Structure 1
Amino acid sequence: MEMQGKVIIVTGAGGGIGGALARAFTAAGGKVVLTDLDAAAVTETARAIEADGGAVAVTSGDASSNEHIDAVVALAEREFGPVDMYVANAGIGGAAGLAATDADWEHAIDVNLMAHVRAARRLVPQWVQRGSGYFLSTASAAGLLTQIGSATYSVTKHAVIGFDEWLSVTYGDSGVAVSCLCPMGVDTKLLRPDGIDGDDAEKLMQNAVETAGDVLTPAAVADAVMEGIADERFLILPHPEVLKMYRYKGSDYDRWLGGMRRYQASLMAPTGS
């Protein structure tokens, strides 16, 4: 996909991967609408892009809300024209296991999965009529592998990849391109939130990610995305080793599960003498 002149919506654009993607898209000539639950953060991202001469509009709200999705699409159409790409990037973490409540699960499913479903429901039919459109999801390597320490995160990221696969199979021959971004560790507040000192489960999850491979900058992830969407590649893997791990998992599931249990045990083992 060529970025020049394209109208793009990016959710979760107040910083991290979403902010880096917005900067990369505008630098390549895209016209970007930014949204985030954190109004102050997304406004600051927009100001930085405007200072660099980028074409940007900004709003804030809940990316999982049908009403907000409608409002963001309307803003994009009013400011720039029909939407060419939707980047479903907003997401939440959480170290919830079996102790997670129904409300915890519902919140994770709503933000990490249903936000994508609702956005696709809103835009894909008009892309099919037009014969072109692009849906980019930020999932995670946790959706291809799993996430030690967090059931809600791992399960919803698996679901996102399944939904993206379905979108590609169902609409790929109708002009709708789909890409799924699956990084491991990225230096964002999702990986390194404030105030987790006393939360052993969150520290376990963070340690698992940080010891599995390099922790990339959001800008490095954005570079990988730009390369991936230039080829309209489905899986975008900023950490190439994820593909090797995924193939190993599929070749011998029981051996892989045993290895993951040993890895988890090593993370939980006491350190020092």
Structure 2
Amino acid sequence: MSTQRIFITGGASGLGRSIALRFARAGWRVCIGDVNDARGAETVAALTVLTSHAHYLRCDVTREEDLRSASEWLASNWGGVDVVVNNAGVAQAGAIEDVELSDWEWILDINLLGVVRGCKVFTPMFKRQGHGHFVNVASMAGLLDVPKMSSYNASKAAVVSLSETLQNELADDHIAVSVVCPSFFKTNLAESMRTTDPGLRKALDKLLDRSPVTADDIADQIFQAVEKRGFYVLPHREGRQAWLMKRLLPRELYTSFMQKRTRKLRGHAEAPRT
């Protein structure tokens, strides 16, 4: 069997970089797309230590033409691609009455439509090949109801719904789909986060820093999901438990639990700085 090929959006840093390195260690050809050329060059340098085929493409997921250029490069140079990871994403936090509609449009254009564009552009290639695998990076925020993050939650819930739909729609074309729903973990997502509440940013930073699950751990679970053609990738035990509660408990018990979490988060955000 020829060496397998993977393309990862947002692949120059954070979870995307960890995914790239994990697949490179397994001998895959790895192509990363990103908007940060300097980080792209750094990541390719790290990848070339692990695989003889590593490449960086400038790719803005808000531009369908960038993704089309990536698909054309992969077709011309590697004869296609086996796995596409729609990973690029941003965060936004704030109370519903405070967040501008322009911020809603910004996050939906990247987190949701960026994934839609990736799936739309690469599905014809997968169908021509007779196989392929989409890995769409969502979040536990797409399955749960994290307070004061309505735009982020909605964008990620839509990615989950899109992935569930495509799992059914593309099955007869031998195209697999996985959806990744991590909880908080240490990454550079906070760099691009927009928020109307500085205290909330501080609280979220603490949650990110305290997570025992790393980007490398999640990348390893993604690798396993690709091998097994698994659908849900839920790396955090606490997140899996909360999702189980949401599905099985009466709604009033679950909402009571989430409202307590909301008050706790609000308390962290409003705590005086020392």
Q: TM-score, normalised by structure 1?
A: 0.89
Residues in 2 aligned to 1:104 and 1:234: alpha-carbon distance in whole angstroms: 30
* 1:105 aligned residue: 104
Runs of at least 4 residues off by over 6 Å: 192-196
The Cα shift of 1:166 comes to: 0.4
Greater shift, 173-182 or 77-86, is seen at: 77-86
* 2:200 aligned residue: 201
Tell me the secondary structure at the aligned position of residue 99 of structure 2: coil
Q: Work out which of the residue numbers 237, 240, 251 in structure 2 matches 1:240.
A: 237
Tell me the secondary structure at the aligned position of residue 51 of structure 1: coil
Q: Contact 1:185–1:215 at 8 Å: present in 2 too?
A: no
Q: Which runs of 5+ in 2 are unaligned?
A: none
Paired letter, 2:40: V
Which residues of 2 match residues 112-151 of structure 1 at below 5 A? 112-151=111-150
Residues in 2 aligned to 1:113 and 1:71: alpha-carbon distance in whole angstroms: 20
* 1:6 aligned residue: 4
The Cα shift of 1:216 comes to: 1.9
Q: Work out which of the residue numbers 221, 226, 229 in structure 1 matches 2:226.
A: 229
Q: Contact 1:32–1:55 at 8 Å: present in 2 too?
A: yes
* 1:70 aligned residue: 68
Tell me the secondary structure at the aligned position of residue 32 of structure 2: strand
Residues in 1 aligned to 2:136 and 2:44: alpha-carbon distance in whole angstroms: 21
RMSD: 2.3
Distance 1:71 1:62, change over 3 A: same
Summarize deviations over 1:69-117 as a string: whole Å, max 9, x none.
0111122223212122110000001114322222211111110011111
Q: Which runs of 5+ in 1 are unaligned?
A: none
Q: Contact 2:92–2:194 at 8 Å: present in 1 too?
A: no
Greater shift, 153-162 or 113-122, is seen at: 113-122
Paired letter, 1:61: C
* 2:216 aligned residue: 219
Residues in 2 aligned to 1:64 and 1:194: alpha-carbon distance in whole angstroms: 17
Residues in 1 aligned to 2:135 and 2:258: alpha-carbon distance in whole angstroms: 29
Residues in 2 aligned to 1:207 and 1:141: alpha-carbon distance in whole angstroms: 17
Greater shift, 103-112 or 71-80, is seen at: 71-80
* 1:179 aligned residue: 178
Residues in 2 aligned to 1:239 and 1:116: alpha-carbon distance in whole angstroms: 22
Q: How many residues align?
A: 267
Q: Contact 1:132–1:176 at 8 Å: present in 2 too?
A: yes
Q: Does residue 45 in structure 1 map to residue 46 in structure 2?
A: no
Residues in 2 aligned to 1:237 and 1:254: alpha-carbon distance in whole angstroms: 25
Distance 1:147 1:191, change over 3 A: farther
* 1:268 aligned residue: 266
Residues in 2 aligned to 1:84 and 1:167: alpha-carbon distance in whole angstroms: 16
Q: Contact 1:185–1:191 at 8 Å: present in 2 too?
A: no
Tell me the secondary structure at the aligned position of residue 109 of structure 2: helix
Distance 1:189 1:235, change over 3 A: same
Tell me the secondary structure at the aligned position of residue 260 of structure 2: helix
* 1:166 aligned residue: 165
Q: Contact 2:91–2:192 at 8 Å: present in 1 too?
A: no
Paired letter, 1:249: K
The Cα shift of 1:46 comes to: 0.6
Q: TM-score, normalised by structure 2?
A: 0.89
Q: Work out which of the residue numbers 92, 95, 100 in structure 2 matches 1:94.
A: 92
Residues in 2 aligned to 1:215 and 1:157: alpha-carbon distance in whole angstroms: 22
